[in-house]
Each structure stands twice: as structure tokens, then as C-alpha cells.
Amino acid sequence: MLLSLFQYQFVQNAVIASVFASIVCGIIGVIIVEKRLIMMSGGIAHTSYGGVGLGYLFGFEPIIGALFISVLAALGIGYVKRRGGTRSDVVIGLFWSFGMALGILFIAMMPGYPPDLTSYLFGSILSVTRGDLYFMAIFTLIVVLVITILFNYWEAYMFDEEFASIIGIKTAFMEYLLFVLIAISVVVLIRVVGIILILALFTAPTAIAGLLAKNLKLRMILSIIIGSLFCFAGLWISYVLNVASGAAIVILLTIAYLLVYIAISFRFRNEIN
């Protein structure tokens, strides 16, 4: 039954989208978790809803609108964070709410019946189109190239920002670039798990990989593999049970993390005793 599903074009699209999403999460997620930028990533993700609404209002691709607003939010949050003067969680909360409010406002301003935005909020991997895949492929390639080319710089930046600055790395540029990459990653993930559940896909595969390995490259590779496996499993459950794909993926990842954590904790206690 599982293999027979691949004869359908929409299933093939969903599988390819899962791979792109897993690559992005495996790479960016490790940096986000290591730099403790999880909530900031959530703020950028939720701000993108304003871009979705903007796209619908003016009749262009909502994903492009989400990218535009996400990048603006990322740069804005990064600027305020580096300038100081206010707590970063306050800024994140304001951007988070402002983006969602903009999306609601833009949709309300549309003439006629408002569109169904459920797939953007909660994900609908089975409705991913060929056009969505082109966008996801481009954005995934950008993330992979930037991280790969500057990998040694990222490693130093994650280890110690002060040390990285001393050896000549422009940490301010690295931080702004990271925020932009997070915004790009959000666009890749929107159609898979939706804006509401993006945080889980950013963190869960990385958290599981972090329990199994400490090496940076290995954690990224494990995160990609783990993300892919659970995206495929969530996709299959979504198809069979007719439930939201994003919810299925996130629930499976959360259960997996808890099981791995319990198993490692139990093993550690046995080794001590």
C-alpha cells in the first residue's frame, strides 16, 4: 500500500517537499538551538503570516509575500537585538503579534469571500504544487550553499562570538545573515508544517540529534535524516487518517524525542550504578 502511493503526483511532490524541509531544518535548526534563538525563530515565522495576507490582497504569490515580510522582520529583530535598550523577548513578542495582525487585516481588506489559509497556518504537505517545489528548491539551495561555504566561520561563531570577533570574523554580519537564513527557511517550511508548527520542526530533529551526537557536522546530518524519516511517517499518517500533515509530523517528532531522552537517561543511570 505504501509503495502504491507514489504513483500519485501529489504524493511525489509531498515527498520531495519533505526532503527540502528536512535539509533546511537539519542545517539551520542546529544553529538555532546552539545559539538559543528558538523564540526569535518563532517570531520571524509568525510574522510571515502578514506576508501571506499581503500576497492574497495584492494578487501575487503568498510565499513571496511571506519571504519579504519574514526578511524584514528578521533584519528588524536583529537590529534591535544588537542595538540593545530593550529586552529581546519584548521585541520578538511585538513582531510576532504585529505580523499575525497584519495578515488578519490584509485578509479582511480583500473583496468577496476570504481565502482558506489553513494550509499556511497548519501545513498541508499533500497540497504542495510543482510551483511550491521550485520555490523550496531555490531557497534550500541558498541555505545549503551559504552554510557550506562559510562553515568554518559558522563553527567559530557558534563556539564563541568573542573569539570569532578576535580572529577577524564579522560577527554582526554573521548574525544578520543567520536571521535572513531563518526567514528563508521559514518559507521552505510553511507548506509542510505551517506557520504555527514551524518551531517544532526547527527544534525536534535537532534536539534528537543532539542527544545522539556532539560533533556539529554529524548533528546536522543526523537532523536531516531524522527529519526526513518523520516527515515521511507523518505524510503517510496524514494520507491514511486524513489528518493535518503538520500535526502528524510534530506529534511523531515529540514522542520520538521523549522516548530517546528517556532511553538515554535510563542508560546513563545504569552506567552510574
* Residue linked to cell 508548527: 197
Structural domain count, the chain? 1
Residue 160: inside a domain, yes or no?
yes
User: Given this model, what pLDDT does residue 4 score?
Assistant: 60
The answer to whether 50 touches 106, Cβ cutoff 8 Å, is yes
Residue 115: inside a domain, yes or no?
yes
CATH for 37: 1.10.3470.10
Residue 93: inside a domain, yes or no?
yes
* Residue linked to cell 536571521: 179
Residue ranges of alpha helices (H) inside the chain are 9-34, 38-58, 62-83, 88-108, 118-122, 130-149, 151-159, 161-166, 171-212, 216-241, 245-272
- Please give the model's pTM, rounded to 2 decimal places: 0.87
- How does pLDDT run along the chain (273 residues), one tens digit per residue? 555 666 778 788 888 888 998 999 889 999 898 888 888 888 888 899 999 999 989 888 888 899 999 999 888 888 887 776 567 778 888 888 898 999 989 988 888 777 778 778 877 777 888 888 888 899 999 999 999 998 888 888 887 788 888 888 888 888 899 999 999 998 888 877 888 788 888 899 999 999 888 888 899 999 999 999 998 888 888 778 888 777 888 899 999 999 999 998 887 777 666
How far is the C-alpha of 134 from the C-alpha of 225, rounded, in Å? Answer: 22
First to last CA, the chain: 47
Residue 1: inside a domain, yes or no?
no
How far is the C-alpha of 154 from the C-alpha of 64, rounded, in Å? Answer: 27
The answer to whether 183 touches 74, Cβ cutoff 8 Å, is yes
| Boundaries of domain holding 239 | 9-272
